[in-house]
Amino acid sequence: MSSKNGARTPVTIVGAGPYGLSVAAHLRARGIEPRVFGEPMESWRERMPLGMYLKSTPSASSIAAPGGRCRLQHFRAAEGRPSGEDQHPVPVEEFISYGLWFQERCVPDLERERVERITRAGGGFRVTLASGESYDTDRVVMATGLGPYAHVPDTLRPLVEAGTASHTADHPDLAVFAGRRVAVLGAGQSALESAALLHEAGAEPVLVARTDELLFGDPPATDDPADRPLPVRLVKPASPLGPGWSLLAFAKGAAAYRYLPDPTRDHFLRTVLGPSGAWWLRDRVDGRIPQFTGCEVDTARGNGQGVRLDLRRTAGGGRQTVEAEHLLCATGYRVDVDRLTLLDADLRRSVQRNGTAPRLSAGLESSVPGLYFAGLSAAAGFGPVLRFVCGTGFAARRISAAVAQARTGSRPPARTPILSGLR
């Protein structure tokens, strides 16, 4: 089986969000034409709520293309609008439009088909599409985004099955809850923004969180980080993840992160930019939405009209009860290779793991030769920057370089871990 032009396909990319599009653009710049499958920006359109804003600042929200082309500010200029600065967050609707604009210019041959199955075949892989087409490819890049990884605690799954609970990823429009009382579980950006959007849509949200208090970021002091006074910049240098030396290290040292011990990497992935909301959410949440902080869900069950949550205080004891018509789980995402069911069972079993996430090489290649992972799937190995759009450049450069080296049989020059991390 071969590609559409009669030659064996060198690379197949599954997913057409920021990471899939960026990897495709970098491969094309190296003269390698991949087949790219998926609806462009699908997860952003179907899993992010209307009215949402990106937590990343505008300067950290560009999809990476070779040569710095097709950045967010270029899209805004093409639209005849001001470029926008860091004190003005990016609406999700604008980011989706930007992603479509990027795709049209950088990945024009995108195929809006669904990949059904990927199996091993002839030293590479066989890809089967929903249309029935089947072909062989040398390499596969999994850039499937957040979709497969939405996490709901096991204790709450019966409520999901009963229809009285759901994950935030299930709702592109929270206005469906207007007039209803909704318990929102979580303390991160998704929980706080969902609660704000529910309130503004006429629902009655209540927040339930294990943290003792809800945390919010500080607003940028200036529109351009370079405009901050020099002493401030020396103490807290700018980075795509926010100001500070530690965040700069995580943003620029993704390759070095891979050399940390597994427990250390896991700890940082959980805690760096941990549960908190963007600065522009504080006034939309504080004083407007009832909060049950410092509480864990002890039991959760249906009560005939919705859900009843029996809460246990994490400090000092005590119990409380919350009743609502629906429970919205803003409980994040958990990478698990076994949930990528389009990879056949043999492939999934062959992928070595860091916990449930794939263990990857410096080029983001798994233990299955030719099988690469980008985006959130790679965050366990390379750190929190791979959870954000600003990580597209690192992933795309690494994968495209690894693919090019594999095709020519060359090897990259040796680098120490520290120097590698600064790339």
pLDDT digits (tens, 9 = 90+) for 393-403: 999 999 999 99
List, for residues 123-168, the tens digit of each pLDDT value: 899 999 999 999 999 999 999 999 899 999 999 999 999 999 999 9
pLDDT reading at 251 higher than 80: yes
**In the chain, ranges of CATH 3.50.50.60 domains:** 9-149+333-421, 154-216+277-329
pLDDT reading at 419 higher than 60: no
pLDDT reading at 222 higher than 50: yes
Task: Please compute the mean of the pLDDT values over residues 326-348 and round it to a whole number.
Answer: 96
Greatest distance between any 2 Cα atoms in the chain: 69
Task: Please compute the mean of the pLDDT values over residues 166-189 and round it to a whole number.
Answer: 96
Using alpha carbons, select from 288, 289, 292, 308 the residue that is nearest to residue 300.
Answer: 308
pLDDT at 309: 95
Candidate CATH numbers 3.10.20.90, 3.50.50.60, 3.40.50.10540, 3.40.220.10; the one for domain 9-149+333-421: 3.50.50.60
Task: Please compute the mean of the pLDDT values over residues 364-386 and round it to a whole number.
Answer: 97
% pLDDT > 90, the chain: 80
- Asked if 22 and 393 touch (Cβ cutoff 8 Å), the reply is yes
List, for residues 77-100, the tens digit of each pLDDT value: 999 887 777 888 999 999 999 999
- Using a CB cutoff of 8 Å and minimum separation of 24, what contacts does 30-34 make? 30/400, 30/403, 30/404, 32/400, 32/403, 32/404, 32/407, 33/109, 34/9, 34/10, 34/141
Least-confidence region, from 25-29, 181-185, 226-230? 226-230
* Sequential DSSP letters for 187-253: SSHHHHHHHHHHHHTT-EEEEE-SSSS--BPPPPSSSSGGGS-HHHHHHS---TT-SSHHHHHHHH-
Task: Please compute the mean of the pLDDT values over residues 303-316 and round it to a whole number.
Answer: 89
CA distances in angstroms from 334 to 3, 145, 147, 378, listed in the order given: 34, 12, 10, 12
Average pLDDT, the chain: 91
Least-confidence region, from 81-85, 204-208, 235-239, 338-342? 81-85
User: How would residue 229 be classed by pLDDT, with cut points 50, 70 and 90?
Assistant: confident
pLDDT at 410: 61
Candidate CATH numbers 3.50.50.60, 3.90.45.10, 2.30.290.10, 3.90.1150.10; the one for domain 154-216+277-329: 3.50.50.60
pLDDT reading at 19 higher than 70: yes
Q: What is the pTM of this model?
A: 0.92
pLDDT at 414: 41
pLDDT at 109: 96
